[in-house]
Amino acid sequence: MAVTDEQQPEQDVEEEREAPPQLDPEVLARRRAALAHVRQFGDPVLRTKARPVERFDGALHEEVRRMQALMHDALGLGLAAPQVGVSHRLLVYRVEPDSPIVALVNPEIEWSSRDEEISEEGCLSLIAVHVDVERPIAVLVRARDEHGEDLVIEATGLEARVIQHEIDHLDGVLILDRTSREQRKAAMRALREAEQAAGVA
């Protein structure tokens, strides 16, 4: 999941606009380099249900470290393995800028609140898109950490939202599927325009 104005005004990083002056050019260059490794809308891996992780070995630790570094450099709040082309049920996220980036392996939502809330979301795989998404306010998630230890996470607010957004990626679901028909149409238009501007249409 990508930051939006609403969530983190101090990190205004909407890609389709001019770079905000407070962002260091080096930070922006690193972000651009990281985004080049993130699969974009249209890549079939983003629509594929990811496979459970079975081995908690060095290769998994390496994958986690790579995703953490990419998410950090891309200024994202979360990143799921399919977004880097790996069909694994693995995600990383961080909602507080200075806290460690958490890795969740084989996460399952065990409970979600009946109360829902609408908020704007962006996605590192849908760079030109910000849409309103309604989601449960609180969730209870069971997962493993990268060493195979059990994790139970009770999350609310932004943390709950980011985890749900990333778990959606593991099931091939995107924010376009979770917004209104009108916003989806506008988003598809923005994506087409962005493609044309990039000369790949």
Binding site for Ni ion (CB under 5 A): 1, 123
DSSP letter string, 69-99 = HHHHHTTBSEEEGGGGT--BSEEEE-SSTTS
CA-closest candidate to residue 140, choices 120, 178, 170, 167: 167
CB 71 → Ni ion: shortest distance, Å? 11
CB of 167 closer than 8 Å to CB of 175: no
CA distance readout (Å), 108 to 12, 90, 112: 31, 11, 11
| Angle at the Cα of 129 from the Cα atoms of 125 and 134, rounded to 5 degrees | 95
CB 97 → Ni ion: shortest distance, Å? 18
How long, in residues, is the chain? Answer: 201
Query: Which of 18, 110, 166, 182 is labelled catalytic?
Result: 166
**Structure tokens belonging to residue 183:** 């916003």
CB 108 → Ni ion: shortest distance, Å? 19
What is the C-alpha separation between 111 and 16, in angstroms, rounded? 36
What is the C-alpha separation between 156 and 161, in angstroms, rounded? 8
CB 80 → Ni ion: shortest distance, Å? 7
| 182 catalytic per annotation | no
Q: Which residue is nearest to Ni ion (CB)?
A: 123
Instruction: Tell me which residues are annotated as active site.
Output: 166
